[in-house]
């Protein structure tokens, strides 16, 4: 009787471990869904890097910092933008849904070179 109880408990544990493993696998898959992280510095009056490569359908995670003054990054072709505040990391996530070459620009006035402050996003198929 004791042995039977023990076995049943063991089987129960194995099932629990299998369930936990399955759940862990699902979480891992979600976390590792295709994504590309790019750190971009917005400084007077350029984005570094000025060229960002992405892939259509792949989540793009942009982490902006601005060491000098408040900036903005506007990807008008994709309808997304973010404010970049000195001392903080501004994260902008989106999934480019079309391929091509697009311009993004600073949309927060930051000084004499503001109007020319832009970068290029290349989205590959």
> What residues make contact with Cu ion under the rule CB under 5 A?
106, 110, 114, 117
Q: Report the nearest approach of Cu ion to the CB of residue 113 (Å).
A: 8
**36 or 118: whose CB is closer to Cu ion?**
118
Measured CA to CA, the distance from residue 122 to residue 30 in angstroms comes to: 25
Distances (CA, A) of 106 to 18, 35, 83, 94, 119: 50, 24, 9, 17, 9
Q: Report the nearest approach of Cu ion to the CB of residue 110 (Å).
A: 3
**24 or 67: whose CB is closer to Cu ion?**
67
**95 or 118: whose CB is closer to Cu ion?**
118
The strands making up 59-65's β-sheet, listed across from edge to edge, are 46-48, 35-43, 59-65, 90-94
Q: Report the nearest approach of Cu ion to the CB of residue 35 (Å).
A: 27
């Amino acid at each position: 009787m004791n042995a039977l109880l023990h076995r049943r408990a063991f089987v129960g544990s194995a099932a629990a471990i299998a369930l936990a493993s399955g759940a862990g696998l699902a979480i891992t898959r979600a976390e590792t869904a295709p994504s590309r992280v790019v750190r971009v510095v917005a400084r007077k009056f350029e984005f570094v890097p000025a060229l960002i490569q992405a892939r259509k359908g792949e989540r793009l995670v942009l982490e902006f910092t601005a060491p000098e003054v408040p900036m903005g990054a506007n990807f008008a072709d994709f309808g997304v933008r973010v404010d970049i505040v000195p001392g903080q990391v501004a994260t902008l996530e989106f999934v480019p849904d079309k391929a091509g070459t697009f311009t993004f620009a600073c949309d927060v006035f930051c000084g004499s070179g503001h109007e020319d402050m832009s970068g290029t996003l290349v989205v590959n198929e």
